[in-house]
Structure 1
């Protein structure tokens, strides 16, 4: 490995913020120990809002309505022994789903995804990534906000 130029993976991601009745929709892969906002990777040549609509449609089999951009996040983290530099665009999102205490099962590329509604007041106790979301989801910004998150 070249120590002057370490291996790092770049990712352009979109995420959706769905808040209803003071609860936020989060998702989780069975093999991971953390939760995150629903969404996924933007494909080359794809607009961010279209990518988010596509990902949500694939995962939950519903048609979302993508709203305004809330955050642009530069996220630097380690996952499974790999370093990541991710730029994530988070949008307000409206879904034809209502909060339920039961988890929802979704799919992505044949892999199960679990979705759950979490009360906003419980977010500090949830392993939600990136970390800034634990407090930021409780007071959404009026204008798009730029965040740099490390770790």
Structure 2
């Protein structure tokens, strides 16, 4: 996985999928997180970004996903679980093949549980979604391509907002 520890901080190369269906977007979080994010994960060395998204969805959910066009590139700096991160994120349109329903479901990230939920795109400002640009970007119809930079965010200090 492309995650490098440099001078007490971590650099991450992350790929995420944007699945929007019936006005809802698929987000996930761990039970202990106080924010939601798009599903995806870290790219492996010599792996194309679209392949990363498909692999991560298969590993985390058992579902087959197809990566479409790249929507956004994001540069994020944040503190998470006591670690400082510098993250480059690629965000792709994503279709989930043979989606059984839009009900909540559980997935896994290694040994950790992931909670998946389809959130109404119009309600994203009432929950904590990270990176912060997502609530505005996902509300645009049609979705607009772009490059986003986020200032330093302390995810450890963000208060819990119910889902």
Partner of 1:111: 112
Whole-angstrom distance in 1 between the partners of 2:8 and 2:107: 32
Task: Please say if residues 75 and 86 of structure 1, whose CA atoms lie closer than 8 Å, have aligned partners that are also in contact.
Answer: yes
Q: How far does residue 80 in structure 1 lie from its aligned partner after superposition?
A: 1.6
Partner of residue 38, structure 2: 37
TM-score relative to the length of structure 2? 0.84
Distance of 2:10 and 2:131 partners within structure 1: 17
Partner of 2:82 in structure 1?
81
1:133 alignment partner in structure 2:
134
What is residue 70 of structure 1 aligned with on the other side?
71
What runs of 5+ residues in structure 1 fail to find an aligned partner? none
Moved segments of 4+, more than 6 Å: none
- Distance between the aligned counterparts of 1:126 and 1:31, measured in 2? 15
2:27 paired residue number: 26
Alpha-carbon distance between aligned partners in 2 of 1:130 and 1:20, rounded to the nearest angstrom: 20
Shift of 1:98: 5.8
CA distance in 1, matches of 2:119, 2:17: 14
Q: What do the CA deviations read for 1:35-79 (whole angstroms, capped 9, x no partner)?
A: 100000001111111011000011111111110000010011111
Q: Give me the whole-angstrom Cα distance separating, in 2, the residues matched to 1:80 and 1:65.
A: 31
Provide the C-alpha distance between the structure 2 equivalents of 1:80 and 1:62, rounded to a whole number of angstroms. Answer: 28
Q: Is the 8 A contact 1:18 1:24 kept in 2?
A: yes
- Number of aligned residue pairs: 144
Q: Distance in 2 between matches of 1:94 and 1:146?
A: 22
